[in-house]
Amino acid sequence: MARTKKNIPIRLLSVEQKAFRMDSSVLSPDSHDALFGFNYSFSPNAEEDTLAVFFEVVMYTPDDMQELLMMDAVHTFKIDNLPGFISHDSGGQTRLSGIIKPILDVIVGTTRGLLIAKTSGTPLSQFVLPLIDVTRIVHA
């Protein structure tokens, strides 16, 4: 049976860094690992077919969980027919369906590039940024 892909016209309009801090002084000389965490939230504007995604990434030392790096950014997308992807659950919470994975794929890739640029020439540039499989974190 042939499968067809749904064409979802999504365009990244802008990426705006809101906060950034880095402290490599907490690294021990033999550090080769770091832990990463991230948070995200969505703010849809159905009238303008735009979606703002607030994305935070944090890098920690693995032994004592000291913060090495934190970056907050807002990624803004233009999504044709955004209202068609918005629903509301019984508690009034806004839900997005069918677009979260491709949007997070773009955000993760863009954030990787920002982190590489920001840490270039610093002790944090020695750490390999992990690959993130967004299908494991998204139920869309």
Q: What are phi and psi of 9, to 5 degrees?
A: -70, 105
The phi-psi region of residue 22 (left if phi > 0; otherwise alpha if psi is between -120 and 50; otherwise beta) is beta
pLDDT tens-digit readout, 60-78 = 988 889 999 999 999 999 9
Using DSSP's 3-state secondary structure scheme, residue 83 falls into: helix
Mapped onto helix, strand or coil, the DSSP state of residue 49 is coil
What confidence tens digit (pLDDT) does each residue in 10-60 have?
A: 999 999 999 999 998 888 777 778 888 889 999 999 999 999 999 999 999
What domains sit in the chain, N to C, each tagged with a CATH number? 10-132 (3.10.420.10)
Distance CA 76, CA 108 (A): 14
Return d(Cα 115, Cα 71) in angstroms, integer. 8
Euclidean distance between the first and final Cα of the chain, in Å? 23
CA 135, CA 140: separation in Å to the nearest integer? 9
Q: For the segment 72-104, what is each residue's pLDDT rounded down to a tens digit? A: 999 999 999 999 999 888 888 888 888 889 999
The per-residue pLDDT for range 116-132, each reduced to its tens digit, is 999 999 888 887 777 77
